[in-house]
C-alpha cells in the first residue's frame, strides 16, 4: 500500500474504529476479492463492534492499494460518507497492469461504481440488452433508461453492464462515473453535482471552488465531461423526478435506472429503454439462496422453493432473505411464514439496499404518486395475484371512459407500480405478487368496502347471466364475481348468484364446470347459511354432469336439470324455465320414472381420448391421469379443477404415479421413455430412455427417505431408477414376456411384477435379485388344454397394507396369495364374458375394487369372497381403478375419456336392480307397460305411470314380448327355449321344439294365437301355441337379424347373409328372396302403405325396394360408416338412415335424393356426433320430427334437419327406442340397465 494511503488510514483509524459496522463493509470487500471468507470469520470472532473494526483496519493496513480503494467505496455505499471523505485524500493512484480484470476494477473503482453483491448471479440477456442500447448511442449524447419495479435488480444490472473490458474499451474508454441520485430536493441535487464535479476535476485544473447553484454545476459538468472525460459514461442510479435529469442534460452519454420510465420525457436527444422483469427465474432464485447459505441447490429445503414461489423470484426479496438466512440458517420456516403472512416489516435491511424494510421499498413508490390518483391505486387492492384485468373492468369500477382509465393506469405502469399486456386492441393490467401483498396488507381495513364498491358498480352495468362472451371483460366477471361478493361479505347476493341456473349455464358454457365446483367448495361456509341442501343440490349437479358441461356442443342445461330429483332446487328452476320455453315452442322431456341414486361423487373429462391410468396423490388432494392423447393431467380431487396439463410424450402415455412425498409425478409411454415431472410446476426433471419397448407401468417406493422408481416394459425387463442418478440403478431380468404391472410392498423391501408370461414375481429391492415366482398360469390349466397352448396374461397386482398378502388379476379371476408361503388363500371368479383390466386393495384390506372389460366395476369382500356391489356409469372399457389413501373413495378411468370418483360407503350400501336391454313396451291410452328381464334373472312387469313392479317369474331370458291385448307374455332363452306366460293365472306354456341357439326376437300375431321367434340358429319358428302346431322358415344361411310381420300372413326377415326374404307364415313357403347387400343386412323397415321396404348394411349403403321388384328402386350412398338403422315416415315420403359415425340422413323416397344431413354440429376430437352408433329411429305422425337413439337420445326437426333436443342417459349404447303412437312418450334402457320413460313436457 502506498505510504500516503497508509498514513491516511492510520491518521483516521480511531474515528473509523469508533463508528463503522463491519458486516456489510466486508461483504463489499469480499465481492471485490480483496478480503477472504476466513479473514471475515476472524473479524467476526472479535467480541465487540469496535474490536471487529480494529481487526478489519489492521488487516487492510497489511494489504495493497486495491484494498484501500475497496474499503473507501464500501464506506460510501454503506452510507459512511463523512468517514469516506476522511480517506479521500489518501486514495492511491493505481497504475494499469496488463490484466483486463485489473483495468476494469480500477476504472469502476475510480468511477464509484458499486461492487458486485456478495452473492451474485448473472442475467446475461438483460446485460446484453443494455449494452446493445448503449452501443446505439455510438459516442453521441443520449439516454438509456433501465426501468422496473422496486427491488428488481436495476442497479446491479447497470453496474454489471460496465464490468466488461471489451465493452469499456470499445464504447467508454474515457471511464465510467456513477451517481446515486435517489429522491432529492434542489439542495440535495446541488450537493450531488458538487461531489461529481470534485471527483471529475481531481487536480482542480478547472476551478478551485465548488459551483454555487444547479445551473453553474450543470455547466461545469458539461465542460468536465467534454474536455477531461470524453468518451465516458455517466450512470445515474435511482432517478425519481424528471426535473433532476435537466441538470444532467448537457451532451453526455447517460445510463439511468428508475422506477418511472417517463422521467426522460423532459430531456432531449436519442432515448432507449430496457425493461427489467420483476422476477428472477426459479433456478436463478434458488442459486442466489444456495450461495448465501453455502449449500448445493439440490440440498436446499422445500421452504426455499416456497420462498421463491411466494415472492415470485423478486431479486430484492431473495437477497434480503438470503442474507438473513446466512446469519440465521435455521429460520427458513420463519421467513417463509413472514412472507406468507405479509409481515414485510420483519424482513428488514440486511444489505446495502437504501430502504430499511421491504414494505418501505414499495410504499415509497406509492407515496410519489399524484394525490388525485392515489385512491385509484388503492382500488387495485382487491385484484388477485396472477390475474390480468381488462381495461373494461376498471371502466366499470371507476365509471369512466376507456381513454380516461388507460391514462391513469399508464401512470402506474410508468412508475413500475403496474404491468400492462396488450390483448389484441385492448390492454390487460396486473400487479406483481409483492405489490398485491403490500396493497392487501396496507389497505386491510378498507378491503371489504372496496370489494363492495366493485359489486355495486357491476350491478349498475350488468345482469350476471346476460354477460356476452364477446365482451372483453366477461371472462373476468365470470371468474371473479363470486370472489368479490364473498370478500365484500355480501352473502345474500352470493347465494342468489350461485343458486341460479342461469348463472350456472352462462358460466359453464364459457369456462366449464370445474371452477364453479371449486367456488361451491370455497364458499360452502357462506352458502350453507342460506340452505345447505340447495348448496348440495347444485354442487352434485355440477360434479356429476361435469363431463357433459365441459364439452362441445354444449348441452341444454335446463334439460339436464329436469333429470335431477324433484326435490332438488336445480330441478325446480329447470322446470320453471322449461315451462316458459315450451310456450315458445321449445321441446323438453320429463323423466317420469327417475329413481336414480348417484353413486359417483365427481365425473371429469380431462382428456380427449381414452384415459389409461389415474392415481391419487399421497395426501389424496390431487389426481394425476394420462392416456391416449399423450398428455398428463393433474386436477383437484374434490372439484376436478385442472392444475396442470402437460404434453408429456410423443406417443400414448400408459401409466403415471405420484412420489410418496407428492413432489414428483412419473409417466411412461409407448415412446419407450420414462419422464419425471415436478408435480406442482409441471417442469420436466428427468427423462430416461433405456427400455427398448413400450413402458407399461411405473411405481414409486412408499417411503421418501430413499426414493426409487420401478418401471416395467414390453422388453420383458423391470428397471429401478434413483432420481439422483442419470442412469438406471438396476435392471431386473427374469420375465419371458411383457411386464404389465409392478408394485413395491408397503415396507419397500420387495417389488412385485406381473407379466404376460403367466407369472407373478417378487424381487428383493436392495439386491435387485429375484426372490420367488408364482406360476399363475397353472390355475387355469385343464386336462383338455396343454400348457404351452394356454395364454394367461397376469394383468396387475395389489398388496395388503401389512405386506403379508397380495392380490393378482388374470383373465376373469382374482387370486389372493400368501406372500411368505406362496400358497393360494382365495380365488374369485368374476364371470365368463369379461376380462379383468385392473384391481386394487383398499387400505382396510377387506375390500377390493376390480375393473372389467364390459364397462363395469365391482367391489368384492376379500374375506368372504362375495361381491359387494356393481358400479355402472362408464360408457366404455375401464382401464384403471384405485382407492384413495384413506379408502373413503375410489377412482375409475375409462376409454370414454372420463374419470369417475365414487364414495366407497355409498357404493357398498347400494343394491339397485338393473334391467337387460331387451325389453318390450305397450302403450295403452295414458298407460305405459314395460316387460323386462333384470340382473337377478326375474321377469318384470312394470307400470310406467305408477312405477309398480310385478315380478312374474324367474327366467334365463334373452328376449321377451307382450301379446297384443297384454294377456300373455313370451320370453326366449339362451338355450333356445321359448315360454308363454298367461298373466291372469300364471300358467306357463313351453314350446316343445324350441331353437338350437339363443332366441333373439319374439312377436305375437295380431290375434295373439301365434308366436313367431328368430334365433342365432338361422331359423324362424312360427308356433301356434294353442294347437301346438309349428311352421319353420328355413332358408337363411346365417343368423336372422330380425323380422317384421306383413299383411295377409306374410313376414319379412333379414339376415347376416345379406338377404331379405318374404315368407308365408301359414305354409312356411319362401315367396321372395331379395339379395340386398354383399354384407350383413343390419336393418329393414316397411312403409306404412306396405308397398316398399328399406334395407341398410355394413357396406355403408341403404336401399329402397318395392315388394313387387327384386331390384332396388334407389341405392342411397353417402354414409361413411355402417348404416345400422332406417325408418319410413308415416306418410311414406321420407326415409331416415343412421350410421356408426353418428350421422343421420333424411332422403326423399320417390327419387332417392338426400334432403338433410342431421349432424352438422362440429364436435371435439375423439367424440362421435351422436355419442356412438345410431341404433334406432322413429318419425312423428306428422313426419315433422324424428327421434334417434345411439349414445343418447336426440330429437330432430325433420323439415330443417336441425337438432331440437338431446337427452343424455346415464349410460350409453341404447339399442332401441319405443315411441307411443302420439309421439309424446319414449321408453329405452341404457347399457347400465337403467330404464327411461320420458314424456314431452307440455
> Is residue 77 scored above 60 in pLDDT?
yes
Between 183-187, 343-347, 1060-1064, the lowest mean confidence (pLDDT) is in: 343-347
- In this predicted structure, what is the pLDDT of residue 203? 67
Q: What is the full DSSP assignment across 846-888?
A: SEEEEEETTS-EEEEETTTTEEEEEE---SS-EEEEEE-TTSS
Q: How does DSSP classify residue 1121? A: S
What is the edge-to-edge ordering of all strands in the sheet holding 589-591?
589-591, 1235-1240, 1225-1229, 1218-1219
For β-strands 1081-1086 and 1020-1024, DSSP reports them as unpaired
pLDDT score of 546: 77
User: Cell numbers at residue 97, please?
Assistant: 497492469
The per-residue pLDDT for 471 is: 80
Q: Are 191 and 181 in contact (CB under 8 A)?
A: no
Mean pLDDT (whole number) for 134-145: 90
Per-residue pLDDT band for 350 (boundaries 50, 70, 90) equals very low
Q: Taking a C-beta distance cutoff of 8 angstroms, is the pair 1022, 1065 a contact? A: yes
pLDDT in tens, 905-956: 888 876 667 788 889 999 988 889 999 988 777 899 999 888 888 888 887 7
For residues 1187-1201, average pLDDT: 92
Can you read off the three cell numbers belonging to residue 1151? 327419387
Instruction: Name the strands in the sheet holding 175-182, side by side, starting at the edge strand that comes first in the sequence.
Output: 175-182, 232-239, 253-258, 142-147, 271-275
Total Cβ atoms within 10 A of residue 408:
18
pLDDT at 1199 over 60: yes
Distance CA(1140)–CA(1138), nearest Å, equals 7
Angle in degrees, CA 353, 354, 358, rounded to 5: 70
Residues with Cβ < 8 Å from 757, sequence gap 6 or more? Answer: 716, 735, 736, 737
* Out of 276-280, 709-713, 758-762, 1165-1169, least confident range: 1165-1169
Look at residue 419 in the predicted model and tell me its pLDDT.
80
CA angle 20, 21, 22 (to 5 degrees): 105
Neighbours of 1209 (CB within 10 A): 23
- Predicted confidence at residue 349, as pLDDT, reads 46
Whether 3 has a pLDDT exceeding 90, the answer reads: no
What is the DSSP track for 8-70? Answer: HHHHTHHHHHHH--HHHHHHHHHHTTSS-HHHHHHHHTSSSHHHHHHHHHHHHHTS-HHHHHH
CA 258 – CA 238 distance, rounded (Å): 5
Residue 430 or 1161, more confident = 430
**What is the reported pLDDT for 999?**
92
Interacting residues of 379 by C-beta distance below 8 A, sequence separation 6+: 397, 398, 450, 453
According to DSSP, the β-strands at 1225-1229 and 1235-1240 are antiparallel
What pLDDT does 96 receive? 45
| 961 DSSP assignment | E
Mean per-residue pLDDT of the chain: 87
Report the range out of 9-23, 317-331, 442-456 with the highest average pLDDT: 442-456
- Helix (H, G, I), strand (E, B), or coil: what is residue 907? helix
Sign of the C-alpha dihedral computed for residues 1037, 1039, 1043 and 1049 taken in this order:
positive
pTM of the full predicted structure?
A: 0.69
Q: Which range in 519-528, 542-551, 881-890 is most confidently predicted, on average pLDDT?
A: 881-890
Owner of C-alpha cell 352408433: 1173
CB 558 within 8 A of CB 577: yes
Q: Are 1096 and 1126 in contact (CB under 8 A)?
A: yes
| CA 227, 233, 237, 241 torsion-angle sign | positive
Q: Can you give the pLDDT at residue 813?
A: 92
Segments in 447-513 forming alpha helices (H): 447-461, 474-487, 491-498, 501-511
pLDDT score of 134: 93
Neighbours of 750 (CB within 10 A): 21
- What residues have CB less than 8 Å from 655, skipping those under 6 apart? 612, 613, 626, 667, 668, 695, 696, 697, 698
User: Rounded to whole angstroms, how far apart are CA atoms 441 and 341?
Assistant: 9
Tell me which of 746 and 289 has the higher pLDDT: 746
SS3 state at 638: coil
Q: What is the pLDDT of residues 85-115, one digit of tens each?
A: 888 888 877 654 445 777 777 788 778 787 7
Per-residue pLDDT, 623: 97
Name the residue with higher pLDDT: 1071 or 198.
1071
* 733 contacts 690 by C-beta, under 8 angstroms: no
Parallel/antiparallel/unpaired status of strands 253-258 and 232-239: parallel
User: What would the pLDDT profile of 157-180 be if each residue is shown by its tens digit?
Assistant: 999 898 888 888 888 888 899 888
H helix count then E strand count, the chain: 32, 68
**Assign residue 106 a region: left if phi > 0, alpha if psi is -120 to 50, beta otherwise?**
alpha
Q: What is the Cα–Cα distance from 313 to 299, expressed in whole angstroms?
A: 19
Longest dimension (CA), the chain: 139
Whole-number CA gyration radius for the chain? 41
Residue 397: its H or E element: helix 391-398
More confident site: 452 or 924: 452
178 backbone dihedrals φ, ψ, rounded to 5°: -105, 130
pLDDT at position 1164, please?
Answer: 46
Statement: residue 120 has pLDDT above 80: no
Whole-angstrom Cα distance, residue 1218 to residue 1134? Answer: 20
Lowest mean pLDDT among 152-156, 218-222, 418-422: 418-422
**Residue closest to 669 by CA, chosen among 618, 612, 719:** 612
Pick the more confident residue, 386 or 527.
527
pLDDT value at residue 95 = 54
Mean pLDDT of 139-145: 90
Residue 754 has pLDDT above 60, yes or no: yes
Q: What pLDDT was estimated at residue 1160?
A: 47
Q: Where are the beta strands (DSSP E) in 914-1055?
A: 920-924, 927-933, 938-943, 949-954, 957-962, 968-973, 978-982, 987-990, 999-1004, 1010-1015, 1020-1024, 1029-1033, 1040-1045, 1050-1055
Residue with cell 409441471: 682
Task: Lay out the sheet containing 1112-1116: strands in order across.
Answer: 1081-1086, 1092-1097, 1102-1106, 1112-1116
Q: What is the pLDDT of residue 228?
A: 84
DSSP letters, 682-740, are --EEEEE---SS-EEEEEE-S-STT-EEEEEETTS-EEEEETTSSSEEEEE---SS-EE
* Whether the Cβ atoms of residue 892 and residue 878 lie closer than 8 Å to each other: yes
pLDDT one-digit tens code per residue, 758-809? 999 999 999 999 999 999 998 888 755 566 667 899 999 999 999 999 999 9
Rounded to 5 degrees, what angle do the CA atoms 136, 140, 141 make? 105
In terms of Cα–Cα distance, which of 659, 603, 608 is closest to 633?
608
Backbone φ, ψ for residue 976 (5° rounding): 95, -5
Higher pLDDT, 691 or 910: 691
What is the SS3 assignment for 252? coil
Check whether 1167 has a pLDDT greater than 50.
Answer: no
What is the separation of C-alpha 1057 from the centre of its chain, rounded to a whole number of angstroms?
A: 49
Long-range contacts of 441-449 (CB under 8 A, 24+ apart): 441/342, 441/344, 441/359, 442/359, 442/363, 442/381, 443/378, 443/381, 446/378, 446/381, 447/381, 447/382, 447/487, 448/487, 448/488, 448/489, 449/488
Range with the poorest average pLDDT among 638-652, 1133-1147, 1161-1175: 1161-1175
How many Å apart are CA 700 and CA 658, to the nearest integer?
7
Kindly list the strands in the beta sheet with 1144-1148, ordered across the sheet, starting from the edge strand earlier in the chain: 1123-1128, 1134-1139, 1144-1148, 1154-1158
pLDDT band at 353 (very low <50, low <70, confident <90, very high): very low
Q: Closest Cα to residue 77, out of 50, 48, 104, 117?
A: 117
Asked whether the predicted pLDDT for residue 2 surpasses 90, the reply is no
Beta bridge partners of residue 179, listed in sequence order: 236
Amino acid at each position: 500500500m502506498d505510504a500516503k494511503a497508509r498514513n491516511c488510514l492510520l491518521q483516521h483509524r480511531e474515528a473509523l474504529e469508533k463508528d463503522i459496522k463491519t458486516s456489510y463493509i466486508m461483504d463489499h470487500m469480499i465481492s471485490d476479492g480483496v478480503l477472504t471468507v476466513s479473514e471475515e470469520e476472524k473479524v467476526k470472532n472479535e467480541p465487540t463492534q469496535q474490536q471487529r473494526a480494529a481487526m478489519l483496519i489492521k488487516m487492510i493496513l497489511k494489504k495493497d492499494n486495491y484494498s484501500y480503494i475497496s474499503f473507501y467505496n464500501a464506506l460510501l455505499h454503506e452510507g459512511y460518507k463523512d468517514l469516506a471523505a476522511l480517506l479521500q485524500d489518501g486514495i492511491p493512484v493505481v497504475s494499469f497492469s496488463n490484466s483486463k480484470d485489473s483495468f476494469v476494477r480500477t476504472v469502476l473503482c475510480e468511477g464509484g461504481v458499486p461492487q458486485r453483491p456478495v452473492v451474485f448471479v448473472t442475467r446475461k440477456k438483460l446485460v446484453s440488452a443494455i449494452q446493445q442500447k448503449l452501443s446505439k448511442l455510438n459516442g453521441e449524447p443520449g439516454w438509456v433508461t433501465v426501468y422496473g419495479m422496486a427491488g428488481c435488480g436495476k442497479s446491479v444490472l447497470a453496474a454489471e453492464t460496465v464490468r466488461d473490458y471489451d465493452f469499456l474499451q470499445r464504447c467508454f474508454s474515457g471511464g465510467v462515473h456513477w451517481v446515486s441520485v435517489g429522491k432529492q430536493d434542489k439542495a440535495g441535487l446541488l450537493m450531488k453535482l458538487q461531489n461529481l464535479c470534485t471527483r471529475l476535476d481531481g487536480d482542480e485544473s478547472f476551478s478551485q471552488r465548488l459551483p454555487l447553484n444547479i445551473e453553474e454545476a450543470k455547466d461545469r459538468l458539461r465542460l468536465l465531461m467534454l474536455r477531461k472525460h470524453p468518451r465516458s459514461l455517466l450512470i445515474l442510479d435511482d432517478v425519481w423526478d424528471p426535473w433532476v435529469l435537466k441538470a444532467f442534460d448537457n451532451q453526455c452519454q447517460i445510463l439511468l435506472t428508475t422506477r418511472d420510465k417517463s422521467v426522460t420525457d423532459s430531456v432531449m436527444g436519442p432515448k432507449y429503454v430496457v425493461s427489467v422483469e420483476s422476477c428472477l427465474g426459479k433456478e436463478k432464485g434458488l442459486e442466489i439462496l444456495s450461495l448465501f447459505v453455502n449449500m448445493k441447490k439440490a440440498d436446499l429445503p422445500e421452504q426455499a422453493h416456497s420462498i421463491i414461489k411466494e415472492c415470485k423470484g423478486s431479486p430484492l426479496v431473495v437477497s434480503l432473505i438470503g442474507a438473513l438466512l446466512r446469519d440465521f440458517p435455521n429460520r427458513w420456516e420463519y421467513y417463509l411464514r413472514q412472507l406468507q403472512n405479509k409481515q414485510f416489516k420483519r424482513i428488514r435491511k440486511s444489505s446495502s439496499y437504501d430502504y430499511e424494510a421491504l414494505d418501505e421499498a414499495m410504499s415509497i413508490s406509492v407515496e410519489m404518486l399524484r394525490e388525485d390518483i392515489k385512491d385509484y391505486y388503492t382500488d387495485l387492492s382487491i385484484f388477485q395475484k396472477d390475474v390480468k384485468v381488462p381495461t373494461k373492468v376498471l371502466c366499470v369500477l371507476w365509471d369512466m371512459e376507456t381513454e380516461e382509465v388507460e391514462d391513469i393506469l399508464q401512470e402506474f405502469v410508468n412508475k413500475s407500480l403496474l404491468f400492462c399486456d396488450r390483448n389484441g386492441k385492448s390492454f390487460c393490467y396486473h400487479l406483481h405478487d409483492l405489490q398485491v401483498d403490500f396493497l392487501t396488507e396496507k389497505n386491510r381495513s378498507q378491503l371489504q368496502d372496496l370489494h363492495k364498491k366493485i359489486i355495486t358498480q357491476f350491478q349498475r352495468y350488468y345482469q350476471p347471466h346476460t354477460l356476452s362472451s364477446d365482451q372483453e371483460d366477461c371472462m373476468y366477471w365470470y371468474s371473479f364475481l363470486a370472489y368479490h361478493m364473498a370478500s365484500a361479505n355480501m352473502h345474500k347476493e352470493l347465494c342468489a348468484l350461485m343458486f341460479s341456473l342461469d348463472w350456472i349455464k352462462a358460466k359453464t358454457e364459457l369456462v366449464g364446470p370445474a371452477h364453479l365446483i371449486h367456488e361451491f367448495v370455497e364458499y360452502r361456509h357462506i352458502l350453507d347459511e342460506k340452505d345447505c341442501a340447495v348448496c348440495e343440490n347444485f354442487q352434485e349437479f355440477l360434479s356429476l354432469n361435469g363431463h357433459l358441461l365441459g364439452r362441445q356442443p354444449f348441452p341444454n342445461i335446463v334439460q339436464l336439470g329436469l333429470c335431477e330429483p324433484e326435490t332438488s332446487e336445480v330441478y325446480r328452476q329447470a322446470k320453471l324455465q322449461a315451462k316458459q320455453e315450451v310456450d315458445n315452442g321449445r321441446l323438453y322431456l320429463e323423466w317420469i320414472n327417475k329413481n336414480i341414486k348417484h353413486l359417483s361423487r365427481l365425473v371429469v373429462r380431462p382428456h380427449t381420448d381414452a384415459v389409461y391410468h389415474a392415481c391419487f396423490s399421497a395426501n389424496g388432494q390431487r389426481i394425476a391421469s394420462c392416456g391416449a392423447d399423450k398428455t398428463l393431467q393433474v386436477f383437484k380431487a374434490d372439484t376436478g379443477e385442472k392444475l396442470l396439463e402437460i404434453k408429456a410424450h410423443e406417443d400414448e402415455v400408459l401409466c403415471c404415479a405420484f412420489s410418496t412425498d407428492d413432489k414428483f409425478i412419473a409417466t411412461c409411454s409407448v415412446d419407450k421413455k420414462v419422464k419425471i415431472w415436478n408435480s406442482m410446476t409441471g417442469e420436466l426433471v428427468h427423462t430416461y430412455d433405456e427400455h427398448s419397448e413400450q413402458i407399461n407401468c411405473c411405481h414409486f417406493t412408499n417411503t421418501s427417505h430413499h426414493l426409487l422408481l420401478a418401471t416395467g416394459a414390453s422388453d420383458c425387463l423391470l428397471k429401478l431408477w434413483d432420481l439422483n442418478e442419470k442412469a438406471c440403478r438396476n435392471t431386473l431380468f427374469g420375465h419371458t414376456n411383457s411386464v404389465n404391472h409392478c408394485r413395491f410392498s408397503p415396507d419397500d423391501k420387495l417389488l412385485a411384477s406381473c407379466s404376460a408370461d403367466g407369472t407373478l414375481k417378487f424381487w428383493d429391492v436392495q439386491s435387485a435379485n429375484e426372490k420367488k415366482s408364482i406360476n399363475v398360469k397353472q390355475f387355469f390349466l385343464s386336462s383338455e388344454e396343454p400348457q404351452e397352448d394356454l395364454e394367461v396374461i397376469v394383468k396387475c397386482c395389489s398388496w395388503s397394507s401389512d405386506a403379508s398378502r397380495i392380490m393378482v388379476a388374470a383373465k376373469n379371476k382374482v387370486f389372493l396369495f400368501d406372500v411368505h408361503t406362496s400358497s393360494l388363500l382365495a380365488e374369485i371368479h368374476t364371470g365368463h364374458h369379461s376380462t379383468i383390466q385392473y384391481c386394487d386393495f383398499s387400505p382396510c384390506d377387506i375390500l377390493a375394487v376390480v375393473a372389467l372389460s364390459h364397462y363395469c366395476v365391482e367391489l368384492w369382500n376379500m374375506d368372504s369372497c362375495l361381491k359387494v356391489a356393481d358400479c355402472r356409469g362408464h360408457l366404455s372399457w375401464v382401464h384403471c381403478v384405485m382407492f384413495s389413501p384413506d379408502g373413503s373413495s375410489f377412482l375409475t378411468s375409462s376409454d370414454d375419456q372420463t374419470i369417475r370418483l365414487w364414495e366407497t360407503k355409498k357404493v357398498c350400501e347400494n343394491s339397485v336392480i338393473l334391467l337387460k336391454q331387451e325389453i318390450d313396451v305397450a302403450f295403452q291410452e295414458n298407460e305405459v307397460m314395460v316387460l323386462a328381464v333384470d340382473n337377478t334373472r326375474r321377469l318384470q312387469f312394470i307400470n310406467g305411470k305408477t312405477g309398480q313392479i310385478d315380478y312374474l317369474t324367474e327366467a334365463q331370458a334373452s328376449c321377451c314380448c307382450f301379446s297384443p291385448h297384454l294377456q300373455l307374455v313370451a320370453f326366449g332363452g339362451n338355450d333356445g327355449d321359448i315360454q308363454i306366460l298367461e298373466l291372469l293365472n300364471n300358467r306357463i306354456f313351453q314350446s316343445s321344439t324350441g331353437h338350437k341357439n339363443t332366441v333373439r326376437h319374439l312377436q305375437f300375431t295380431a290375434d295373439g294365437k301365434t308366436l313367431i321367434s328368430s334365433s342365432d340358429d338361422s331359423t324362424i319358428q312360427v308356433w301356434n301355441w294353442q294347437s301346438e302346431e309349428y311352421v319353420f322358415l328355413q332358408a337363411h344361411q346365417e343368423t336372422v337379424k330380425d323380422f317384421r310381420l306383413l299383411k295377409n300372413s306374410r313376414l319379412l326377415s333379414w339376415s347376416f347373409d345379406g338377404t331379405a326374404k318374404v315368407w308365408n307364415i301359414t305354409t312356411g313357403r319362401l315367396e321372395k328372396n331379395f339379395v340386398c347387400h354383399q354384407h350383413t343386412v343390419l336393418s329393414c323397415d316397411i312403409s306404412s302403405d306396405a308397398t316398399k321396404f328399406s334395407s341398410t348394411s355394413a357396406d355403408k349403403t341403404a336401399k329402397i325396394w318395392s315388394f313387387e321388384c327384386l331390384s332396388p328402386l334407389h341405392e342411397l350412398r353417402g354414409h361413411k360408416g355402417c348404416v345400422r338403422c332406417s325408418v319410413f315416415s308415416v306418410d311414406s315420403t321420407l326415409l331416415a338412415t343412421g350410421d356408426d359415425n353418428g350421422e343421420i340422413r333424411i332422403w326423399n323416397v320417390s327419387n332417392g335424393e338426400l334432403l338433410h344431413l342431421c349432424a352438422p354440429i362440429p364436435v371435439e376430437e375423439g367424440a362421435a356426433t351422436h355419442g356412438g352408433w345410431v341404433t334406432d329411429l322413429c318419425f312423428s305422425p306428422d313426419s315433422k320430427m324424428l327421434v334417434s337413439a345411439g349414445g343418447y337420445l336426440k330429437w330432430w326437426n325433420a323439415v330443417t334437419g336441425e337438432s331440437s333436443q338431446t337427452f343424455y342417459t346415464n349410460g350409453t349404447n341404447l339399442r332401441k327406442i319405443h315411441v307411443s303412437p302420439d309421439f309424446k312418450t319414449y321408453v329405452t334402457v341404457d347399457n347400465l340397465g337403467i330404464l327411461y320413460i320420458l314424456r314431452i313436457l307440455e
